[in-house]
Amino acid sequence: MTEPLLLTETAAGVRTLRINRPDKLNALNREVIDALDAAFAEAARDPEVRVVVLTGAGPKAFVAGADIAEMHTLTPVQGRDFSLRGSRMMRRIEKLPKPVIAMINGFALGGGLELAMSCHLRIAADSAKVGQPEINLGLIPGFGGSQRLLRLCGRAATLELCLTGAPISAERALQLGIVNRVVPAADLETETMTLAKQLAAAAPLALRGLLDCVNVGGECSLEEGLEYESAQFGLIFATEDMREGTRAFLEKRKPTFTGR
């Protein structure tokens, strides 16, 4: 019986997606890309899912890159199509109306780092390594690596990582702003799930509004971003969760949010 490409588990509003190709260090081929695209589309639709955690199976890799064996034979047109396929999937993650946390348990290289950067938050084990090594294959990043790195850590660090292709430690990635937290490898799952459950208990429509504001603000002028934030702020006043949250504060109790 063939093992599924993605292992899925849902508990307490948190859906965990685990890429399941440990023998290939969870490398991204077309099948995995399509499976991830479908899984995130389903997570967006499912009202029981409030947060998604993405990780890789096995002890060595989150995702060690795109599948080189598959890419080796591609024509220029097929290469462009492969790039667009991965970019569309990662853009879906980036624009998901629910928080997505990358749990980086090992190597996140090439397409793996690109996948992690498309998530909203990134927690890395202290043993993890990240990088964009495409230059060593005579390639460039194809799933948004040059663009998301530029936005996360600036021009100098982006050029260093992409031009040298050298991997960096999780601690260095934290210093550059590529990951949000670095924790001992033994604590990675516990720390990630603690954060995921914290977010799952928050007001879903407020989370969605925040994600929208950051996504829009990152691609427009400050004036446009401020206008959009004010509009989203006003819309939140139409939600039951806003009334519940403010009422709970005044009554000095913990709020219960329903996503309405």
The residue segments making up the domain with residue 245 are 204-250
Distances (CA, A) of 67 to 81, 89, 128, 129, 134: 15, 16, 20, 18, 12
- Please check whether residue 106 lies inside any domain of the structure: yes
Instruction: For residues 95 and 120, give the distance between their C-alpha atoms in angstroms, rounded to a whole number.
Output: 9
Together in a domain, 132 and 180: yes
Together in a domain, 187 and 222: no
- Please check whether residue 136 lies inside any domain of the structure: yes
Q: Known catalytic residue: 134?
A: yes
Together in a domain, 235 and 144: no
CATH number, position 218: 1.10.12
- Please check whether residue 59 lies inside any domain of the structure: yes
Together in a domain, 113 and 73: yes
pLDDT tens, position by position, 36-95? 999 999 999 999 999 999 999 998 999 999 888 888 999 999 999 999 999 999 999 999
Question: Which residue from 27, 101, 23, 15 is spatially nearest to 62, judged by alpha carbons?
Answer: 27
pLDDT tens, position by position, 230-239? 999 999 999 9
pLDDT tops 90 at residue 148: yes
- Please check whether residue 255 lies inside any domain of the structure: no
Confidence of residue 259 (pLDDT cuts 50, 70, 90): confident
Together in a domain, 23 and 109: yes
- Please check whether residue 257 lies inside any domain of the structure: no
Query: Cβ contacts of residue 169 below 8 Å, gap of 6+?
Result: 128, 129
User: What local confidence, expressed as pLDDT, does residue 3 receive?
Assistant: 83
Together in a domain, 19 and 98: yes
Together in a domain, 175 and 148: yes
Instruction: For residues 118 and 112, give the distance between their C-alpha atoms in angstroms, rounded to a whole number.
Output: 10
pLDDT tens, position by position, 5-24? 999 999 999 999 999 999 99
Active-site choice (3, 114, 171, 240): 114
Query: Cβ contacts of residue 222 below 8 Å, gap of 6+?
Result: none
pLDDT tens, position by position, 200-216? 999 999 999 999 999 99
Average pLDDT over every residue of 112-120:
98
Tokens of 57: 């199976």
Mean pLDDT over the full length of the chain: 95
Active-site choice (3, 31, 134, 160): 134
Together in a domain, 151 and 194: yes
Count how many domains the chain has: 2
Instruction: For residues 120 and 102, give the distance between their C-alpha atoms in angstroms, rounded to a whole number.
Output: 8
Together in a domain, 208 and 195: no
Cβ contact 240:232 at 8 Å = no
Cβ contact 242:203 at 8 Å = yes
Tokens of 127: 């043993």
The helix/strand/coil state of 95 is coil
Strand runs (DSSP E) across the chain, as ranges? 6-11, 14-19, 51-56, 61-63, 100-104, 107-109, 121-125, 129-131, 168-169, 181-183
CATH number, position 161: 3.90.226.10
Could you tell me the strand order of the sheet in which 6-11 lies?
6-11, 14-19, 51-56, 100-104, 121-125, 181-183
Cβ contact 52:89 at 8 Å = no
Together in a domain, 15 and 139: yes
- Please check whether residue 219 lies inside any domain of the structure: yes
Distances (CA, A) of 56 to 28, 102, 198, 206: 11, 9, 22, 29
Confidence of residue 1 (pLDDT cuts 50, 70, 90): low
Cβ contact 156:80 at 8 Å = no
- Please check whether residue 1 lies inside any domain of the structure: no
Instruction: Kindly state the percentage of the chain with pLDDT values over 90.
Output: 92
Query: Cβ contacts of residue 170 below 8 Å, gap of 6+?
Result: 104, 124, 125, 126, 127, 128, 129, 130, 179, 182
Together in a domain, 243 and 148: no
Together in a domain, 122 and 169: yes
Instruction: Kindly state the percentage of the chain with pLDDT values over 70.
Output: 100
Burial annotation 153-184 (CB, 10 A radius, 16+ → b, else e): beeebbebbbeebebbbbebbbebebbbbbbe
Could you tell me the strand order of the sheet in which 129-131 lies?
61-63, 107-109, 129-131, 168-169
